[in-house]
Structure 1
Amino acid sequence: MLDDRDRPSDGREDLEAALVLHYSRLVRIAYLALPPEGDRHGRVLAAHAIVQRTLPGSGGRLDPRRRRLGEAYGDSYAILRTAVIRAALRGNRRLRVLHTPYVWGLRLFPLGGGSEEMQMDAALRAMNTTARIAYVLLALEDLNAEQTKAVLKRAGAGGIPGAMSAARRLLAEQPAEVLGSSEFDPCTLRTRPTDLARRRRRTRAVLGGGAAAVAVALAAVIGFGGSGPGFADALGGAADAGGSGGSGGSGGSGGSIGSGSVAGAANAASQTPIRVAADAWRTSARIDFGVWPARGADGASGTLVGQALEAWTAPHADVLRLGPGASDAPPVLPVHVLYNGRLDGASVALLYDTTRLARYTVPDHPGAADPVRLDVVRADDSDVTSAGAVVLRSTPAGDRWLVAPWVNTVAVRDLRAPDALARPSVFPDGVTPTVPRPAVSTCGVWPVLQMQSSPQIAEHHTFLLADLTEGGGVTGTHLTYTPPPKTGPAQSPREGTGPDALVAEARVVCGLGPLQGRDVKQINTWSFAQQTLPANQGLATWVCLRADDWTGAGTSTGVFLPPAVRVPAAVTGTETGGKSCTRFDQNVVAQTRWRGPDGRTYLLVAGSRHVVKLGVADASGAVHAPAPAPDHTAATPMPDAAAASSSAVGVLDTGETLRAFHP
């Protein structure tokens, strides 16, 4: 409650003094009351413009029916507050002709708060202007209900009863003190430069056309011109500095470019998100996220997209979640809109800036389990499979995926049941029904998406994507398979949808739990060797499980698959950070202990196709003479303790030695 407000007399001097004394308070009210469209830069400028133009002679107007300002409403502060509220209620009709302060070369943002502030901002955006103002008067101005109704009535508001009900509900849900946060303070600001390269190109274009320019760079000049942009333009991006903020008004105190309308239009175009045509992928030689169309019921609305761009440009630390290797830099403009709509009790916007995906989620009822969040992950070097689908929304029930436009069919397959048929799924507007996430702790089921591309992409091309993100990631993990070696050239990875691949993946999938949260781009299950076990106990398979992240890093894990399907797979060792089991390093040696039916312990060793000899190094490191291994495997009986302390060594056909992965 303000207790130091000026008491009016009869003249302008009292109003001017009140304006100076309570300027920051009035600007905060204007900022909170303004329509939520657009970005914070435009709202900041418009809020200052409203307050600075409330006095007669400044371009604003108090109620002309009042002959004596002090007699009309009470004190000077109340008069100014009512004028500010009236200007905000008039919306874009008033703001289109309201000249905002000039800002050149900079973007202005409030300092930002945390999750509570983001939840409050989302709640205010969901209310109409009258309800927002009612809440501000109750919470920030500490007025009672009758006083709030009186102020709204004097300001010419409509729908006051409904607005009061909405404001009271929000007041019961959200703490009033949040409005005092720096998130809602348009007078304490931080700055960012505009796109300097784009501004230089724009300036050169203007100068080349013969227009006169005043050399003002990276400076904010506050003033009012005769033809500055309105709030609607500012929110649309035309008020971006370095070509924003006005088109050469004669009354402005700051310099302006004579052809500012051309510069403003160019800047607005650069800020406008790209929406790709639905059939762009059909004629593109590059198939990735860049040819996804914009989908979602709200695809034509820019409000949520504007909020997402704000959150991406000046992110909150407790709202932003960066995927491994993803940069926290502002987006490369203009961005692509991939989705903009509502899903499972939240508004969701999915954006792409050629190297990253940003998913902005605003739940209807944000909380600790379902907060407002911005997920930014790497998406560079995506292709027909890694850009085949993304997770739009994760809830306790599972994931809703957005499928690429080149996907013809979608089915859900349980990797733990390789013989079961995949269940076909519908995906209207590209969005799947809820797909349960893997039961990592029990490994009872492991659902994945099985998708088939259009024949225009590849004939009979079916691939798998899994969610390894602990219910919070964006991109899926592409699953591939490399079959056991044969005579001739080495085999290449293929899609993990064949019968052999599904059987192998069913046995190794339970070991994928540790990969959760790593933002894995692809996992290849490589059966690099097969071995007939001693005492005719069947054919075992040696696997290298290669997991590659979007960052380019990865891990290689050796897995031993006994002949009996019900016998669990055994991890034989892991290499972190190397390139083993990739096309850049196709040589690998692995080992494990195995107990035969007669109780004897064997050290089983296997190598990839270029391993021609296999040996064993004891605990001291001494290597016994390696023996030829025509089938790239060996089984050496030895005491259990010796087998545990021994290390396998392989000799390649080049003479180079190779050590086994360590557990």
Structure 2
Amino acid sequence: MQSQDVVTLPDHAHGQAIAVEQAEAALVEHYARLVRLAYLVLPPSLGPGRRVLTAHAVTQRALPGGRAPEASDGPAAVPPAGLRAWEIPPQAAQRGAGRNGDPGYAYVRLQVLRTALRAGRRFSWRTWPWRVQLPPLLPQVWGLRLFPRSGGAAELALDQRLSALSAPARAAYVLRGLERLRDADVAAVLASAGAADPAAALREADGLEARYELLESPEFDPCSLQARPTDLVRRRHHMKAAAAAAAAVVVCAALLAMPGSGWGPDGPAAPPYAQNPAAEAALDPAQLTVAAPTAWKQSARMDFSVWPARGGLTGDRALLRRALAVWARPGPSVQVSATPGTPAGAPPGPAQLLYAGEVDEARVVLLYDGLRIVRYAEPKNGTSGAALDFARVDGAKAEEANAVVVARADGNVRYLTAPWVSAASMRDLLRPEAEPRELGRAPDGITDPLVGPARSGACRSWNVLQVRQDASTRLLTDLGELVPAHLTAGRPGTPRDATGPLSLAGWARTACSLTAVRSHGVRSVNLWQYARQHLPEGDGSATWMCTRAETWRGAGSRVLAHFLEPGGAAGAVAAKAEDSPACGTREPHVLAGVLWKSQSGAWYLLAAGSKQVVSVQATGAVSGSARGHVLSVRTRQGAQAGLRGRLADGRGVSVLR
């Protein structure tokens, strides 16, 4: 018989033999999940950039080679001829396999976890360091810093609390939340991965609030990255110094080799680098473009390209030069932020000046390069603590180019309004019956401070900016970015401005759900009432609505389905999805369901689809079907059910998830 190579993991009991192809397939299929697990368990002290590269390196090394064990190692399953097999301890193979019980996945997960835990151990000069404790050789990206997308306040708080835990406790928390393992299975996997005291790790993880849904957010996804340059000024200086040193070495070698003395007849060599005229022009304040004050009145386009330059410091060349220089090469003290999908590099050519002036206690410059709005802000006294913000605005229309955030302080927001805005006011979406309050505006278009939506805590108000242009009135809401999102209402494909009584009444019960799309590069949010349903036992009628948040980059749209009981209380989020065409112009269909308790205490599964749905069927623990687009089935509390819908043309509609 042909000898076979196996790798046996240390354990007290026999394992299960895993063919190499099985483990390789599991690694390829679940690569993104394994990298996320490694990123969460690795020490936060590595920093986001090195954690990203180390997480990928740890995962890519999860399939080590090995040699066949000796006969004393005990019996093992013999793989087919020509295959290698690896052995995994039964605790991980049977009790905590995950991914539908795949032992191949359990093996590679255990390898990733073991290596990530080693990275958190202290260096000892008496022994050689583990490979994972050293910077990864590959992959490497020169000249760029890679890190995951920024999340919200909840994700940041969770990351800080995770960093305070020990490595085994972090692993326990992640295995509970990301892998959905029971505590006994978590302890078994930790023991197999080399944790000294799994029980202590579980107790330490108990002290952290179980916000497991946040582990799935882009904040902890090392496969969806942002890229920014390293310190370009320092790198340029180092390259110049290296080039000068190389030139000096060449000259000295030439002088030593020449029979005589002095330079040759060709003269000195060329400079070590050549200037880039386009880049130099982009950093020259004199090259900034400025739209005519009345350009927007004659232009066929109503976007940021026809905004005139406003503010009292448009002639301050020193300020403009600093803003352009920081844009091209922000220093380590500059606070830089960018909406998802927005490049943060230098301008490709001379930009357009939109504003330069003093706002509250800062000097602010707004620039536009055809793709992005860029805001540079510095304190009135000095330049320390400067900030640089990017927002993607390509393809903006008049309704999306009505305002830009120029300042935020103490929960208040100031906007620079478009030149065509004739009036600005503040409206609280949670009080649709209240009249909007007029906002004062300076001659340069800067509004008075507007109390912004609450970022956390109880949602008692949701103030939005209402602007008027000729006969059109529009609502804009601050979602933590430079450009506010445009709020609309109506059927996908034909949305309208959400300023009518019915639209305002709908937003009054769903506005607080907008916190779910904060800081995601949202361009517009549409609210659509897609169904009404008579409740069982004569308890009135419920309303089903969906909100769809479209982004400037196209990808990353978010859809929420809301269930609104009779009365004025805020609606409940019945379902949500990301990057789904549902509730949009491409796929104007939606289906969602909730478990609902009647006034008599009975439980029902309620479901509703859009008008194109001709039948709805419940599956799983609840059995029932209905013709039409609504369903009501008696059930019990906590029942797990699925939903399927069908359109008139025979196509299926899946539940929003």
- Quote the Cα distance in structure 1 between the aligned partners of 2:438 and 2:523: 24
Question: 2:561 aligned with 1:558, yes or no?
Answer: yes
- Quote the Cα distance in structure 2 between the aligned partners of 1:594 and 1:242: 67
1:313 Cα deviation from its structure 2 partner: 1.4
- Quote the Cα distance in structure 2 between the aligned partners of 1:243 and 1:536: 71
Question: 2:483 aligned with 1:475, yes or no?
Answer: yes
Q: 2:291 aligns with which of 244, 259, 276?
A: 276
Query: Residues 314 and 593 from structure 1, CA distance in 2 versus in 1: closer, same or farther, beyond 3 angstroms?
Result: same
Residue aligning to 2:653 = 658
Residue aligning to 1:462 = 473
Provide, for residues 311-330 of structure 1, a one-character-per-residue CA deviation record: whole Å limited to 9, x for no partner.
Answer: 11122355322221111221
Contact 1:617 1:646 in 2 (8 A): yes
Question: 2:343 aligned with 1:327, yes or no?
Answer: yes
Question: 2:271 aligned with 1:220, yes or no?
Answer: yes
Contact 2:340 2:521 in 1 (8 A): yes
Provide, for residues 521-561 of structure 1, a one-character-per-residue CA deviation record: whole Å limited to 9, x for no partner.
Answer: 11111111111212232221101111111111201111101
1:661 Cα deviation from its structure 2 partner: 1.9
Query: Residues 190 and 399 from structure 1, CA distance in 2 versus in 1: closer, same or farther, beyond 3 angstroms?
Result: farther
Residue aligning to 1:640 = 637
Query: Residues 219 and 383 from structure 1, CA distance in 2 versus in 1: closer, same or farther, beyond 3 angstroms?
Result: farther
1:382 Cα deviation from its structure 2 partner: 0.8
1:445 Cα deviation from its structure 2 partner: 1.3
Residue aligning to 1:628 = 627
Contact 1:182 1:188 in 2 (8 A): no
Q: 1:380 aligns with which of 374, 383, 394?
A: 394
Look up the SS of the partner of 1:329 in the other structure. Answer: coil
- Quote the Cα distance in structure 2 between the aligned partners of 1:521 and 1:365: 35
Q: 1:392 aligns with which of 398, 401, 406?
A: 406
Query: Residues 572 and 307 from structure 1, CA distance in 2 versus in 1: closer, same or farther, beyond 3 angstroms?
Result: same
Query: Residues 335 and 449 from structure 1, CA distance in 2 versus in 1: closer, same or farther, beyond 3 angstroms?
Result: same
- Quote the Cα distance in structure 2 between the aligned partners of 1:413 and 1:182: 45
Residue aligning to 1:316 = 331
Q: Which one scores higher on RCO, CA 8 angstroms, separation ≥ 6?
A: 1
- Quote the Cα distance in structure 2 between the aligned partners of 1:294 and 1:550: 24
- Quote the Cα distance in structure 2 between the aligned partners of 1:340 and 1:424: 25
Q: Partner amino acid for 1:602?
A: Y
Q: Partner amino acid for 1:656?
A: R
1:633 Cα deviation from its structure 2 partner: 1.3
1:277 Cα deviation from its structure 2 partner: 1.1
Contact 1:417 1:506 in 2 (8 A): yes
Contact 1:321 1:376 in 2 (8 A): yes
Look up the SS of the partner of 1:407 in the other structure. Answer: coil
Unmatched runs of 5 consecutive residues or more in structure 2? 1-142, 144-230, 242-268
Contact 2:459 2:512 in 1 (8 A): yes
1:91-490 residue pairs with structure 2 within 5 A? Answer: 220=271, 241-242=276-277, 272-316=287-331, 318-364=334-380, 371-428=385-442, 429-440=444-455, 441-453=457-469, 455=470, 460-469=471-480, 473-482=481-490
Provide, for residues 309-355 of structure 1, a one-character-per-residue CA deviation record: whole Å limited to 9, x for no partner.
Answer: 11111223553222211112211322110001111111100000000
Residue aligning to 1:524 = 526
Provide, for residues 571-601 of structure 1, a one-character-per-residue CA deviation record: whole Å limited to 9, x for no partner.
Answer: 1111112221110111111101111122211
1:189 Cα deviation from its structure 2 partner: 6.5
- Quote the Cα distance in structure 2 between the aligned partners of 1:495 and 1:244: 42
Contact 1:366 1:372 in 2 (8 A): no
1:243 Cα deviation from its structure 2 partner: 9.4
Query: Residues 437 and 613 from structure 1, CA distance in 2 versus in 1: closer, same or farther, beyond 3 angstroms?
Result: same
1:426 Cα deviation from its structure 2 partner: 2.1
1:516 Cα deviation from its structure 2 partner: 1.7
- Quote the Cα distance in structure 1 between the aligned partners of 2:283 and 2:602: 77
Look up the SS of the partner of 1:585 in the other structure. Answer: coil
Larger radius of gyration: 1
1:546-585 residue pairs with structure 2 within 5 A? Answer: 546-553=548-555, 554-566=557-569, 568-585=570-587
Question: What TM-score comes out, normalization by structure 2 length?
Answer: 0.57
Query: Residues 219 and 280 from structure 1, CA distance in 2 versus in 1: closer, same or farther, beyond 3 angstroms?
Result: farther
- Quote the Cα distance in structure 2 between the aligned partners of 1:243 and 1:358: 19
- Quote the Cα distance in structure 1 between the aligned partners of 2:566 and 2:279: 70
- Quote the Cα distance in structure 2 between the aligned partners of 1:512 and 1:401: 20
Contact 2:493 2:584 in 1 (8 A): no
Query: Residues 638 and 402 from structure 1, CA distance in 2 versus in 1: closer, same or farther, beyond 3 angstroms?
Result: same
- Quote the Cα distance in structure 1 between the aligned partners of 2:615 and 2:329: 59
Unmatched runs of 5 consecutive residues or more in structure 1? 1-110, 112-180, 192-217, 223-238, 246-265, 484-489
1:220 Cα deviation from its structure 2 partner: 3.4
Q: Partner amino acid for 1:314?
A: R
- Quote the Cα distance in structure 2 between the aligned partners of 1:268 and 1:467: 31
1:244 Cα deviation from its structure 2 partner: 11
- Quote the Cα distance in structure 2 between the aligned partners of 1:277 and 1:653: 55
Q: 2:509 aligns with which of 507, 510, 531?
A: 507
- Quote the Cα distance in structure 2 between the aligned partners of 1:463 and 1:646: 41
Contact 1:647 1:659 in 2 (8 A): no
Query: Residues 436 and 189 from structure 1, CA distance in 2 versus in 1: closer, same or farther, beyond 3 angstroms?
Result: farther
Q: Partner amino acid for 1:614?
A: V
1:640 Cα deviation from its structure 2 partner: 2.4
- Quote the Cα distance in structure 1 between the aligned partners of 2:497 and 2:279: 51
Contact 1:542 1:606 in 2 (8 A): yes
Query: Residues 240 and 296 from structure 1, CA distance in 2 versus in 1: closer, same or farther, beyond 3 angstroms?
Result: farther
Contact 1:611 1:650 in 2 (8 A): yes
Q: Partner amino acid for 1:304?
A: L
Provide, for residues 595-630 of structure 1, a one-character-per-residue CA deviation record: whole Å limited to 9, x for no partner.
Answer: 11222111111011210111111149xx75x4311x
Query: Residues 656 and 221 from structure 1, CA distance in 2 versus in 1: closer, same or farther, beyond 3 angstroms?
Result: closer
Provide, for residues 403-436 of structure 1, a one-character-per-residue CA deviation record: whole Å limited to 9, x for no partner.
Answer: 0111111000011111100001121211001111
- Quote the Cα distance in structure 2 between the aligned partners of 1:182 and 1:481: 46
Q: Partner amino acid for 2:627?
A: P
- Quote the Cα distance in structure 2 between the aligned partners of 1:312 and 1:480: 34
- Quote the Cα distance in structure 2 between the aligned partners of 1:219 and 1:442: 66
Q: Partner amino acid for 2:320?
A: V
Identity %: 33
